[in-house]
Structure 1
Amino acid sequence: MKSLRVLLVINSPPLPFGNADARWYYVLLKELVERGHHVTAFTACSKIEDITKAQALFPTPDYDLRCYLIPNRTNGLIAKMETIRQPYSYIFSPELRQDLASELAKPYDILHLEQLWSGWLGLEHRERAIINIHYLFSLDRAFEHQKSLESRLRKFFTDRAEQKLLKAFPKIATLSGRLAKHINQINPQASIYTVPLGIDFSLYPFLEQKQINQQPIVGLIGGFNWSPTYSAAERLLTRLWPEIKRRVPNAKLQIVGRSAKDALAVFADIEDLKIHQNVPDTLPYFANTDVMLYAPIAGSGMKVKVMEAFALGTPVVTTSDGVEGIPACDGVHAGICEDDRGLIERTVELLNNPSLQQERRLKARHLLKNYCNPQVTVEQIERIYYEY
């Protein structure tokens, strides 16, 4: 197949252990270039040190990765009007927009936009564009637990912007059948493709036989400034953990991730709970977790921390939302249930049965490796490209 000229817009730098979506961007950029495509990637970055790391991983001339700091937000009238007109567009700096416009003025084959809000940059070029939707605020029930006037206004403008962008593009990729169905209801004329996220399995060491803790550990790992993960933590701490602890008295609970202590400070005195915030590396915490219990109240898209648990061999108990986009089966690859009682039963069963833990972790890793490896996922993206 012929080599294509691809302009790729991503909303965070392609770091293998950066933001959740960055794992996919790392795979996507690397694999597209390895397949012979000429890719110029434009990325918004929140930290200068992330720019340095990304440029070291993707050096010139092998890659054309252009990094731009996210501008500081202002509270002036113009900024507020822009937020109303195009929510979340502030992350793309004037310099990024100008450089992208320069490349769009030259011959190119594909404008690839990752995440919904990058769609603001492609509205004038939608005839050569594909936009990849990772999740939707409207399905995640974002802002619903906040009752202030500001939160209600944010919800209104966010929902309106989602609708506008989803209706604008003729080719839309997304991560799950659920998202595809929802998007089709909004834009029935669009060609919609379901493509799972890919991750680089070489970065996730897997031990054929996992060491079992004498005091079993239930864990939850994620970013607690994201509403689905926060809802999973609140549910775990208030509705699930007390009964698990009663039935497995020597069990411990650890919660790890971005803003964990800040978001969950009110729960800090719970017995046998440890909270670790903003750790430099989550892999050791996956390694010493016997069961990862992730049960969000709502949350669309693929959950990268569940994917990482599968990849590393950490047994998982979750909801259907937790394994969205992954063809996992309850009792085979994970414990999957919607109600509290079923989640507790599946967690206790795993904590008390190391052999079952071993069986689950092997099957989950095998499933994910077949479904989400870089070659399979990027090949599906490539096939969409060639439809133009």
Structure 2
Amino acid sequence: MNKPSIRTLVITREIPYPPMNGYLLRNWQNISIMTKFGAVGVFATFDSKQNSIDSLPGVTLWHPCKINKPSSFGETVKRLSWRIRPSGDLFVYRLYSQTAAQELEEVIKNFQPDLLIFEEIWMYRYLPVVKKYKLPIIFDNHNVEALTKKFSSNQSWFSQIKEKLQFFQHKNIERELTHQAKQVWVCSEEDTHLLQEVYGKVSDIRVVPNGLNVANYDSVRLGKCSLPEGLEEKQRNFIFMGNFAYPPNREAAELLINEIYPQLSKIYPDCRLLLVGQNPNQFMREAANKEPRIIVTGRVPEVLPYLAAASVAVIPLLQGGGTRLKILEAFAAGCPVVSTAKGAEGLKAKDGEHLLIRDQMDEIVAGVSQIWSEPNLAEKLANSAYELVKNEYSWEAVSRQVEPAISAIVSGFTQG
């Protein structure tokens, strides 16, 4: 089968390169893979806290668009009023401006893409601009967002109302994008079933798993990566990476701080917990201030040195969807993994062969202890996991799954 040729415009939030967290890794994966099929343009909105870059490697058109604060009282009122609509959302409206919508329209006119990829639900407000040009849309759904919300009776009544409103808003946005798209890309078969369960029949769902440029992690796996200052002694360091604005990651961090670290520190007083990623909350920062062996980094320029400083990755996720990039990164880096079943959901990884799957917190502690006390087991898991990520989750492997999806769209052009 000849590889199809197609011009793609990716519409995304934040600057996708360098990819420093899970959703940016997926975005950069998809952008990089689509360059194999033809010219790729990227339109990205970002807030004033970020600094733009001049170009993206391999990308034909790069159009960053900084979203500034509202310039007038009228614009502020308009944005805030949109926030309470059935398809509104605080984060979605922050990523939108009329100026950006006009710039996107100019980009579409000048770049003349054959196909548009919407990354996640957050760029929803730009859908009317895209629909004007009647171009096929791929909705790349990193998670089934309607199912990532977890309500707590411990919250104030105001917080509960706010969370429930946001749940319905996300569900409405996700439903519309799911049914407007020519194809919906999800990270795993589990997400396919969840999407159909929530929204009914969806015309064309394709599993495009998260993957990695595996060679980028060779320096860690081969012991050639410099370690962060103060973390040179890595024997008892365990790591969890993620964006802590994401509720499942916050919950996992709290379990690590409240339950897993205290138990491990009783057995191994020299152990350290590394919580690596942006948007740590106040609870995490306070825990790090009280206990110097809990390291909370915040946003880092590169995660590889911290992976190199860890002897085990611990993934105590209890909710969320998608393919677990944090596990794949550990696999590629040669770092053994202990995870809940939910944390490893969507991967072709087997307990005892590629990682240890443990669902109770005391079982996770025992799993970490087992890896630390049995070097042969740690080496066996790391070697098997590396072969798995290379064969199933490298960009080369993912590209083989993207090709028939793009061919189906190109075939639609011909039939149309």
TM-score by length of 2: 0.82
Q: What does residue 69 of structure 2 align with? A: 72
Compute the displacement of 1:166 (Å): 2.7
Compute the displacement of 1:350 (Å): 0.7
How far apart in 2 are the matches of 1:283 and 1:382?
30
1:234-313 aligned at under 5 Å gives the runs 234-260=254-280, 262-268=282-288, 269-270=290-291, 272-313=293-334
Compared with structure 1, are the counterparts of its residues 76 and 337 closer, same or farther at alpha carbon in structure 2 (3 Å cutoff)? Answer: same
2:238–2:273 contact (8 Å) kept in structure 1:
yes
Match of 1:94 among 84, 93, 98: 98
The range that moved more, 104-113 or 195-204, is 104-113
1:210–1:358 contact (8 Å) kept in structure 2:
no
Q: Deviations over 1:240-285 (max 9, x none)?
A: 2222233334433332322337341342324743333333332222
Does the alignment pair 1:129 with 2:130? no
Compared with structure 1, are the counterparts of its residues 189 and 153 closer, same or farther at alpha carbon in structure 2 (3 Å cutoff)? Answer: closer
Compared with structure 1, are the counterparts of its residues 77 and 290 closer, same or farther at alpha carbon in structure 2 (3 Å cutoff)? Answer: same
Compared with structure 1, are the counterparts of its residues 30 and 152 closer, same or farther at alpha carbon in structure 2 (3 Å cutoff)? Answer: closer
Does the alignment pair 1:46 with 2:47? yes
How far apart in 1 are the matches of 2:22 and 2:187?
14
2:318–2:343 contact (8 Å) kept in structure 1:
no
Does the alignment pair 1:58 with 2:57? yes
Q: What does residue 26 of structure 1 align with? A: 28
How far apart in 2 are the matches of 1:252 and 1:48?
31
1:10–1:42 contact (8 Å) kept in structure 2:
yes
Q: What does residue 177 of structure 1 align with? A: 189
- Percent identity, aligned pairs only, is 22
Q: What does residue 395 of structure 2 align with? A: 374
How far apart in 1 are the matches of 2:63 and 2:155?
37
TM-score by length of 1: 0.87
Compared with structure 1, are the counterparts of its residues 167 and 15 closer, same or farther at alpha carbon in structure 2 (3 Å cutoff)? Answer: same
Q: Deviations over 1:62-102 (max 9, x none)?
A: 61111111332689331122222433144144344224334
Match of 1:159 among 159, 171, 191: 171
Compared with structure 1, are the counterparts of its residues 17 and 112 closer, same or farther at alpha carbon in structure 2 (3 Å cutoff)? Answer: closer
Q: What does residue 227 of structure 1 align with? A: 247
1:217–1:288 contact (8 Å) kept in structure 2:
yes
* Count of paired positions: 383
AA matched with 1:11: R
Compared with structure 1, are the counterparts of its residues 153 and 30 closer, same or farther at alpha carbon in structure 2 (3 Å cutoff)? Answer: closer
Q: Deviations over 1:307-358 (max 9, x none)?
A: 2212211111112232233211111111112222322221111121122112
Compute the displacement of 1:210 (Å): 9.4
1:235–1:296 contact (8 Å) kept in structure 2:
no
Q: Deviations over 1:160-201 (max 9, x none)?
A: 333333343342110011211111121314211111123222
The range that moved more, 12-21 or 131-140, is 12-21
Compared with structure 1, are the counterparts of its residues 120 and 297 closer, same or farther at alpha carbon in structure 2 (3 Å cutoff)? Answer: same
Structure 1: gaps (5+ residues): none
Q: Deviations over 1:41-68 (max 9, x none)?
A: 211223586422xx34437xx6111111
Q: What does residue 207 of structure 1 align with? A: 221
1:141-152 aligned at under 5 Å gives the runs 141-142=149-150, 144=152, 146-147=155-156, 148=159, 149-152=161-164
How far apart in 2 are the matches of 1:387 and 1:29?
19
Q: What does residue 412 of structure 2 align with? A: none
How far apart in 1 are the matches of 2:6 and 2:234?
54
Q: What does residue 9 of structure 1 align with? A: 11
How far apart in 2 are the matches of 1:370 and 1:119?
35
Compute the displacement of 1:36 (Å): 4.7
Compared with structure 1, are the counterparts of its residues 253 and 112 closer, same or farther at alpha carbon in structure 2 (3 Å cutoff)? Answer: closer
Match of 1:316 among 322, 334, 337: 337
SS of structure 2 residue aligned to 1:327: coil
How far apart in 1 are the matches of 2:169 and 2:369?
43
Structure 2: gaps (5+ residues): 226-231, 410-416
